[in-house]
Amino acid sequence: MSRPKILLCLDTDPQPSVFDGVVAVDAGVDYLFRHGGVRPADVRDLVYGAMFTRGGEDLKNTAVFVGGSDVTAGEAVLHAVRESFFGDVRVSAMLDSNGSNTTAAAAVVTARRHIGLKGAVVTVLAATGPVGSRVVRLLARAGAQVRVVSRKLTHAEGACDRVAATVPGADLLPLQAKDADDEASALEGAHVVIACGPPGVQLVTAAALTRNRTLEVAIDLNAVPPTGLEGVSPADRAASRDGRLYYGAFGVGRTKMRIHHAAVTQLFAANDQVFDAEEIYEIGLRIEE
Amino acid sequence: MSRPKILLCLDTDPQPSVFDGVVAVDAGVDYLFRHGGVRPADVRDLVYGAMFTRGGEDLKNTAVFVGGSDVTAGEAVLHAVRESFFGDVRVSAMLDSNGSNTTAAAAVVTARRHIGLKGAVVTVLAATGPVGSRVVRLLARAGAQVRVVSRKLTHAEGACDRVAATVPGADLLPLQAKDADDEASALEGAHVVIACGPPGVQLVTAAALTRNRTLEVAIDLNAVPPTGLEGVSPADRAASRDGRLYYGAFGVGRTKMRIHHAAVTQLFAANDQVFDAEEIYEIGLRIEE
Amino acid sequence: MSRPKILLCLDTDPQPSVFDGVVAVDAGVDYLFRHGGVRPADVRDLVYGAMFTRGGEDLKNTAVFVGGSDVTAGEAVLHAVRESFFGDVRVSAMLDSNGSNTTAAAAVVTARRHIGLKGAVVTVLAATGPVGSRVVRLLARAGAQVRVVSRKLTHAEGACDRVAATVPGADLLPLQAKDADDEASALEGAHVVIACGPPGVQLVTAAALTRNRTLEVAIDLNAVPPTGLEGVSPADRAASRDGRLYYGAFGVGRTKMRIHHAAVTQLFAANDQVFDAEEIYEIGLRIEE
């Protein structure tokens, strides 16, 4: 008889995420150990408690989920989780602070539903934030020509350098966009745009979108109006306008949620998995089949 | 197959209530998400996590319970919970900080078991606190003539004004009681007394109770001796003395507990309920049938 | 139908122990109420919530576990738990801060597996810490002649006085050990040694162990190399060398884990149990049969 499934939720916010908890319940987790305000220094003892209580086949029934609103803090916690492992004595772990990995995976899976990514020109707006930089990584691995757009060129270049260091042969172009005209220029010739900007900040005007002749898919991950791409509604889900398909944040959200569920379920398949953007994207691809 | 029942417990105390947790378990909740030290500013993100993770019929399987020892703080949290809702996208919520709603409901249900409340004269002692003010509201709605007693007349008047504003036709009489003689006077001609004073504070002497000729039911909600009505034991449960029935805090407690259980169970019947004093009293009435 | 089993985990560390939580799940607990940063002043309200929510036969399905890394803080919390009880209205409680009780019980159970403790000479090194002092208590009750070794004689004497006050006829010898030679001397003529020193501190040299002619069982509870007894590996489990049996921390650990599981399971057998070192040792003895 197998052990109950326990998910150790290490959340960097003072109050641990209810969203992540509900998804875990619906993914079949039996017990949630929800910890708020987790700092890297807290991690070792907590993860030891997961590693040293069950043995052999049972070890895979305990897993770790790292969450919270601060992605950088979550990355530091995931690092501490991995540092706690002793060879084979380890548990599976997943990072999804602020939904960054499941959102990035869902955005790229959504684009891929309509267009072959290999060789496609994809513009990523606000590409240096936690979600944007993950979207760039996933696109680069998929063989897209990625335009990496940021307000500051040095930020865009830095993001490209970091991705290039881990993705051999990545095809990346850093671009600066100081205003709506620059953003519009970055869309010229692109087949896909994925806007990863902050809530309530418009990046591209409706006029610029209408003028553009190459875009086939336009995805906006900002759920709070005004959206990043003017005229996109958060509820858009393959909405056909101007001869192309539009997706808003909630339109991508169902795919995001399915990926999140599947990833938590998959965490308990073995004790040696670490799910960051790439692994969660692979899970997304399997769902699409 | 329906989703597991999740109760999001938002508690304003640093350590969330064990009492409320055990009752929730015994009311059939599958998963408790227990949060301590919750402030109104924390609420929106937590409640969003409850609202945006399940859809349609499943939404009713997530609900919110607001607890903690400070009723005013709990009211502010419940307000923030309601402010988080978007039209139909909402979850059911219940307030029972310090047991105030279930206790008030149980006290009035207990009185009603023995006497018709419509037109009855009911004296509420220490009527301006969290429990007392709820007792007054429930009695006023039930058509009783309520004597609202406080140490300060302005407090009693304020409490009456607040109830009158929400209960059309409420029959309320504010009274000041500076000492045991005043409290005794407030009982003259009353059919019921409900003492809502703080732990260990005596309000009415045994002599005054014996002298009184009109009281049929006397209820004291103070569990810590000395009780508010001298001679009442917390364990009294329809104890017959002086030609009337006495109830102490534990005597009312069983009814309170049954109401608390039933209210938590009922929370999961739909996704659009808010249970404050009135709704919880209605649940209490249904249990009595 | 019996109520679900609820374990109220009162942990004195800010983040409650994952280790204790997983063991509780695997011991069949249905719901964990995990509280971190618990101080004695918090205890009464929390334990009241466990005491006053279920009645009669159901009361035994709620129990308390006191944990955390600080054993002294845990003892104060257990004291506050016991002070909260009203006669028969109580719940079972167990203390195992830092694993001190289950570790001490496992060490003595392990020694007893190989040698009759009554009349045996047993040297306890680092005998005045939380684990060491519990080992001394258990050995004294079992009728062993116990050598209580500490760096300071006054500490050793104090530990002996405390045990003597609760174990009539205890046979205790306080000894000071300022260096490895003193520790080696304390082993001369002993049948068993149990080293309870801190992580990474060597107490006895391999040469001294080889020279010793009387030791039959040598147990070292320090899991972090260098171990307290030079040459002992944490993984040693009845390893035979020098004509005697060696146990390291992990070698004792499986017994410790079985005792921990059994104790949590046993907590729910009745509502009036308190498990400190002695009771947990008795559970360990029953497992060995």
Which CATH number covers residue C48? 3.40.50.10280
- Interface touch A48/C257, C-beta < 8 Å: no
Residue A47 within any structural domain of the chain: yes
Q: Is the pLDDT of residue C1 over 80?
A: no
For the beta carbon of residue B56, count every other beta carbon within 10 angstroms: 7
User: Radius of gyration (Cα) for chain A, nearest Å?
Assistant: 19
Residue B1 within any structural domain of the chain: no
DSSP A137-189: HHHHHTT-EEEEEESSHHHHHHHHHHHHHHSTT-EEEEEE--SHHHHHHHHTT
Per DSSP, which regions of chain C are E strands? 6-11, 31-35, 62-67, 92-95, 121-125, 145-150, 171-176, 192-195, 217-220, 237-241, 244-247, 274-275
Residues across chain C: 289
What average pLDDT does this structure show over A251-271? Answer: 97
Evaluate whether A40 touches A80 at the Cβ level (below 8 Å): yes
Domain co-membership, B39 together with B79: yes
The answer to whether the bond into C199 is cis (omega within 30° of 0) is: no
Mutate to test the interface with C, among B5, B6, B17, B22 (most CBs of C within 10 A): B22
Q: Residue B85 contacts by C-beta under 8 Å, 6 or more apart in sequence?
A: B47, B51
What average pLDDT does this structure show over C51-71? Answer: 95
Q: Mind listing the pLDDT tens digit for each residue in C227-267?
A: 999 999 999 999 999 899 999 999 999 999 999 999 999 99
Distance CA C21, CA C27 (A): 10
Domain co-membership, C91 together with C127: no
Say which DSSP state C123 is in.
Answer: E
Token pair recorded at residue A15 = 């109050």
pLDDT of residue A1: 64
Q: Mind listing the pLDDT tens digit for each residue in B158-183?
A: 999 999 999 999 999 999 999 999 99
Q: Give the C-alpha distances (Å, rounded to integers) separating C194 from A94, A254, B46, C103, C203.
A: 41, 59, 50, 11, 11
pLDDT of residue A224: 87
Which residues in chain A touch residue B51, judged by CB atoms under 8 angstroms apart? none
Q: What is the CATH number of the domain that holds B115?
A: 3.40.50.720
Residue A237 within any structural domain of the chain: yes
Q: Is the pLDDT of residue A187 over 80?
A: yes
Domain co-membership, A210 together with A227: yes
Give percent of chain C above pLDDT 90: 95
Q: Residue A272 contacts by C-beta under 8 Å, 6 or more apart in sequence?
A: A88, A90, A92
Token pair recorded at residue A3 = 């052990």
- Interface touch A31/C32, C-beta < 8 Å: yes
Distance CA A231, CA A215 (A): 15
Beta bridge partners of C86: C89
Closest-CA distance, B20 to chain C, in angstroms, reads: 8
Domain co-membership, A123 together with A264: no
Give percent of chain B above pLDDT 70: 100
- Measure CB to CB from residue B15 to each of C3, C31, C42 and give the nearest one: C42
Distance CA C108, CA C194 (A): 8
Mean of all residue pLDDT scores within chain A: 96
Give percent of chain C above pLDDT 70: 100
Which residues in chain A touch residue B53, judged by CB atoms under 8 angstroms apart? 18-19, 22-23, 26, 257
pLDDT of residue A55: 87
- Interface touch B15/C45, C-beta < 8 Å: yes
pLDDT of residue C158: 96
Q: By CA distance, what is C47's nearest residue in B? A: B18
Closest-CA distance, B155 to chain A, in angstroms, reads: 37
Q: Is the pLDDT of residue A280 over 80?
A: yes
Domain co-membership, A22 together with A146: no
DSSP B154-166: HHHHHHHHHHHHH
pLDDT of residue C64: 98
Number of folded domains in chain C? 2
pLDDT of residue C225: 87
Q: Residue C102 contacts by C-beta under 8 Å, 6 or more apart in sequence?
A: C96, C256, C257, C259, C260, C263, C280
Domain co-membership, A75 together with A111: no
Domain co-membership, C58 together with C29: yes
Domain co-membership, C246 together with C179: yes
Closest-CA distance, C276 to chain B, in angstroms, reads: 23
Query: What is the interface pTM, i.e. ipTM, of the complex?
Result: 0.93
Q: Residue A159 contacts by C-beta under 8 Å, 6 or more apart in sequence?
A: A127, A128, A132, A133, A136, A148, A150, A174
Going by C-alpha positions, the residue among C177, C175, C143 that lies closest to residue C159 is: C175
Q: Residue A162 contacts by C-beta under 8 Å, 6 or more apart in sequence?
A: A133
Evaluate whether B135 touches B207 at the Cβ level (below 8 Å): no
Please give the helix or strand (H or E) that residue A241 lies within, else none.
Answer: strand A237-241
What average pLDDT does this structure show over A105-123? Answer: 98
Beta bridge partners of C192: C122, C217
Q: Mind listing the pLDDT tens digit for each residue in A27-80?
A: 999 999 999 999 999 999 999 999 999 988 999 999 999 999 999 999 999 999
Domain co-membership, B132 together with B65: no
Closest-CA distance, B180 to chain C, in angstroms, reads: 31
Residue A1 within any structural domain of the chain: no
Please give the helix or strand (H or E) that residue A31 lies within, else none.
Answer: strand A31-35
Give percent of chain A above pLDDT 90: 95
C117 backbone dihedrals φ, ψ, rounded to 5°: -80, -25
Q: Give residue A71's domain range.
A: 6-99+255-288
Residue C1 within any structural domain of the chain: no
Mean of all residue pLDDT scores within chain C: 96
Neighbors of chain A by Cβ distance (3+ pairs < 8 Å): B, C
User: Radius of gyration (Cα) for chain C, nearest Å?
Assistant: 19
What average pLDDT does this structure show over B223-236? Answer: 94
What average pLDDT does this structure show over A83-89? Answer: 92
pLDDT of residue B1: 64
pLDDT of residue B55: 87
- Measure CB to CB from residue B18 to each of C4, C33, C37 and give the nearest one: C33
Residue B259 within any structural domain of the chain: yes
pTM: 0.95
Domain co-membership, B131 together with B223: yes
Q: Is the pLDDT of residue A90 over 70?
A: yes
Going by C-alpha positions, the residue among C170, C214, C162 that lies closest to residue C189 is: C214
Task: Name every residue in A having a CB less than 8 A away from some CB of C.
Answer: 3-4, 6, 8, 30-31, 33, 35, 37-38, 42, 45-50, 52-54, 62
Q: Mind listing the pLDDT tens digit for each residue in A166-183?
A: 999 999 999 999 999 999
Domain co-membership, C124 together with C242: yes
pLDDT of residue A253: 94
Mutate to test the interface with B, among C5, C47, C53, C91 (most CBs of B within 10 A): C53
- Interface touch A49/C14, C-beta < 8 Å: no
Q: How many CA atoms lie less than 13 Å away from A280 in the CB half-sphere?
A: 32
The answer to whether the bond into B168 is cis (omega within 30° of 0) is: no
Q: Is the pLDDT of residue C101 over 80?
A: yes
Domain co-membership, A124 together with A213: yes
Which residues in chain C touch residue B224, judged by CB atoms under 8 angstroms apart? none
Q: Is the pLDDT of residue B224 over 90?
A: no
Distance CA C90, CA B130 (A): 29
Cβ-in-10-Å burial (0-12, 13-18, 19+) of C279 comes to middle
Task: Name every residue in C having a CB less than 8 A away from some CB of B.
Answer: 3-4, 6, 8, 30-31, 33, 35, 37-38, 42, 45-50, 52-54, 62
Q: Mind listing the pLDDT tens digit for each residue in B80-114?
A: 999 999 889 999 999 999 999 999 999 999 999 99
Please give the helix or strand (H or E) that residue C225 lies within, else none.
Answer: none
Distance CA A2, CA A15 (A): 31
pLDDT of residue A289: 83
For the beta carbon of residue B179, count every other beta carbon within 10 angstroms: 9
Which residues in chain B touch residue A19, judged by CB atoms under 8 angstroms apart? 48-49, 52-53
Residue A266 within any structural domain of the chain: yes
Q: Mind listing the pLDDT tens digit for each residue in C134-188?
A: 999 999 999 999 999 999 999 999 999 999 999 999 999 999 999 999 999 999 9
